[in-house]
Amino acid sequence: MSTERTADLPHSIRPMMAADLQQVCAIESACSASPWSRKQFELSLSDSKVIELDNHVVGFGILSSVLDQAELHNIAVHPDSQGMGLGAAILDYLLDHLAEQVRSIYLEVRLSNFRAIRLYQERGFAQVGERRDYYKTELGREDALLMCRQITTD
Protein backbone atom coordinates (compact mmCIF):
# COMPACT_ATOMS: atom_id res chain seq x y z
CA MET A 1 0.00 0.00 0.00
CA SER A 2 1.38 3.39 -0.99
CA THR A 3 1.89 6.02 1.68
CA GLU A 4 1.95 8.81 -0.91
CA ARG A 5 -0.95 11.20 -0.89
CA THR A 6 -2.66 11.73 -4.17
CA ALA A 7 -3.05 15.00 -6.00
CA ASP A 8 -6.53 15.41 -4.56
CA LEU A 9 -5.05 18.62 -3.26
CA PRO A 10 -6.49 21.80 -4.78
CA HIS A 11 -3.98 22.26 -7.59
CA SER A 12 -4.17 23.82 -11.02
CA ILE A 13 -2.24 23.26 -14.23
CA ARG A 14 -1.78 26.04 -16.74
CA PRO A 15 0.61 27.16 -19.49
CA MET A 16 4.01 28.33 -18.28
CA MET A 17 4.55 32.08 -18.69
CA ALA A 18 7.71 34.17 -18.73
CA ALA A 19 6.76 35.43 -15.26
CA ASP A 20 7.12 31.84 -13.97
CA LEU A 21 10.70 31.38 -15.12
CA GLN A 22 12.39 32.43 -11.86
CA GLN A 23 10.33 29.89 -9.88
CA VAL A 24 10.73 27.21 -12.52
CA CYS A 25 14.52 27.67 -12.61
CA ALA A 26 14.62 27.42 -8.80
CA ILE A 27 12.63 24.16 -8.93
CA GLU A 28 14.92 22.81 -11.64
CA SER A 29 18.03 23.70 -9.60
CA ALA A 30 16.58 22.02 -6.52
CA CYS A 31 15.80 18.83 -8.48
CA SER A 32 18.60 18.39 -10.98
CA ALA A 33 22.35 17.92 -10.74
CA SER A 34 22.61 19.39 -14.25
CA PRO A 35 19.75 21.90 -14.44
CA TRP A 36 18.39 23.47 -17.59
CA SER A 37 19.32 27.09 -18.19
CA ARG A 38 16.81 29.90 -18.14
CA LYS A 39 17.30 30.19 -21.90
CA GLN A 40 16.28 26.54 -22.40
CA PHE A 41 13.06 27.22 -20.49
CA GLU A 42 12.45 30.42 -22.47
CA LEU A 43 12.78 28.46 -25.72
CA SER A 44 10.32 25.85 -24.43
CA LEU A 45 7.56 28.14 -23.15
CA SER A 46 5.08 27.12 -25.84
CA ASP A 47 5.47 23.43 -24.86
CA SER A 48 5.41 23.96 -21.09
CA LYS A 49 2.89 23.69 -18.27
CA VAL A 50 3.20 24.52 -14.60
CA ILE A 51 1.37 23.04 -11.65
CA GLU A 52 0.32 25.36 -8.85
CA LEU A 53 -0.56 24.57 -5.28
CA ASP A 54 -2.02 27.40 -3.19
CA ASN A 55 -1.26 29.80 -6.08
CA HIS A 56 2.47 28.93 -6.03
CA VAL A 57 4.26 27.17 -8.87
CA VAL A 58 5.55 23.90 -7.42
CA GLY A 59 6.32 21.97 -10.59
CA PHE A 60 6.39 21.91 -14.36
CA GLY A 61 6.31 19.65 -17.39
CA ILE A 62 7.63 20.19 -20.89
CA LEU A 63 6.35 18.01 -23.71
CA SER A 64 6.73 18.79 -27.39
CA SER A 65 5.33 16.99 -30.39
CA VAL A 66 6.25 16.79 -34.04
CA LEU A 67 3.90 14.97 -36.36
CA ASP A 68 3.06 11.62 -34.73
CA GLN A 69 5.75 11.66 -32.01
CA ALA A 70 6.04 13.50 -28.72
CA GLU A 71 8.90 13.82 -26.28
CA LEU A 72 8.76 14.58 -22.59
CA HIS A 73 11.78 16.85 -22.26
CA ASN A 74 11.60 17.75 -18.59
CA ILE A 75 9.30 17.30 -15.61
CA ALA A 76 9.92 18.21 -11.97
CA VAL A 77 8.19 18.97 -8.70
CA HIS A 78 9.92 20.97 -5.98
CA PRO A 79 11.34 18.63 -3.29
CA ASP A 80 9.10 20.26 -0.65
CA SER A 81 6.02 19.25 -2.67
CA GLN A 82 7.08 15.76 -3.75
CA GLY A 83 5.24 12.67 -2.56
CA MET A 84 1.79 14.24 -2.97
CA GLY A 85 1.02 12.95 -6.47
CA LEU A 86 1.68 16.28 -8.18
CA GLY A 87 4.23 14.77 -10.58
CA ALA A 88 1.65 12.18 -11.59
CA ALA A 89 -0.98 14.92 -11.95
CA ILE A 90 1.10 16.99 -14.36
CA LEU A 91 2.21 13.92 -16.31
CA ASP A 92 -1.39 12.76 -16.64
CA TYR A 93 -2.41 16.25 -17.79
CA LEU A 94 0.29 16.24 -20.47
CA LEU A 95 -0.72 12.76 -21.64
CA ASP A 96 -4.43 13.67 -21.66
CA HIS A 97 -3.77 16.77 -23.80
CA LEU A 98 -1.56 15.29 -26.52
CA ALA A 99 -2.08 16.37 -30.09
CA GLU A 100 -4.53 14.00 -31.75
CA GLN A 101 -1.98 12.71 -34.25
CA VAL A 102 0.58 11.62 -31.61
CA ARG A 103 1.12 7.85 -31.65
CA SER A 104 4.27 7.52 -29.51
CA ILE A 105 5.83 9.42 -26.63
CA TYR A 106 9.50 9.17 -25.70
CA LEU A 107 11.48 10.22 -22.65
CA GLU A 108 14.82 9.70 -20.96
CA VAL A 109 15.08 9.09 -17.22
CA ARG A 110 18.05 8.62 -14.89
CA LEU A 111 18.74 4.96 -14.20
CA SER A 112 18.72 5.78 -10.45
CA ASN A 113 15.36 7.63 -10.51
CA PHE A 114 13.28 4.67 -9.34
CA ARG A 115 10.22 6.74 -8.41
CA ALA A 116 10.03 8.32 -11.87
CA ILE A 117 10.62 4.99 -13.61
CA ARG A 118 7.77 3.43 -11.62
CA LEU A 119 5.48 6.38 -12.45
CA TYR A 120 6.26 6.08 -16.16
CA GLN A 121 5.71 2.31 -16.11
CA GLU A 122 2.36 2.83 -14.37
CA ARG A 123 1.43 5.17 -17.25
CA GLY A 124 2.25 2.57 -19.92
CA PHE A 125 5.85 3.49 -20.74
CA ALA A 126 8.32 0.68 -21.42
CA GLN A 127 12.08 0.72 -21.73
CA VAL A 128 13.20 0.68 -25.36
CA GLY A 129 16.89 1.45 -24.90
CA GLU A 130 19.66 2.99 -22.82
CA ARG A 131 21.84 6.04 -23.28
CA ARG A 132 25.29 5.52 -21.77
CA ASP A 133 26.72 8.36 -19.66
CA TYR A 134 23.76 10.61 -20.52
CA TYR A 135 23.43 12.60 -17.27
CA LYS A 136 26.06 14.46 -15.26
CA THR A 137 26.42 13.53 -11.59
CA GLU A 138 28.67 14.72 -8.78
CA LEU A 139 30.85 11.65 -9.36
CA GLY A 140 30.88 11.58 -13.16
CA ARG A 141 28.08 10.43 -15.42
CA GLU A 142 24.98 8.23 -15.22
CA ASP A 143 23.11 6.20 -17.80
CA ALA A 144 19.57 7.03 -18.89
CA LEU A 145 16.77 4.69 -19.76
CA LEU A 146 14.99 5.53 -23.00
CA MET A 147 11.28 4.83 -22.54
CA CYS A 148 8.36 4.92 -24.93
CA ARG A 149 4.58 4.74 -24.70
CA GLN A 150 2.57 3.80 -27.76
CA ILE A 151 -0.82 5.46 -28.23
CA THR A 152 -3.44 3.25 -29.79
CA THR A 153 -6.63 4.49 -31.34
CA ASP A 154 -9.85 2.67 -30.63
Q: Which one from 28, 120, 135, 142 is the annotated catalytic residue?
A: 120
Active-site residue, from 52, 106, 108, 134: 108
- 8 A C-beta contact, residue 104 and residue 144: no
**Helix or strand run (H / E) with residue 140:** strand 140-150
CB 25 within 8 A of CB 35: yes
Q: Is position 134 annotated as part of the catalytic site?
A: no
**Bridge partners, residue 69, by sequence:** 66, 104
Active site residue 135: no
Helices (H), 36-149: 38-43, 86-96, 114-122
Catalogue the active-site residues: 108, 120
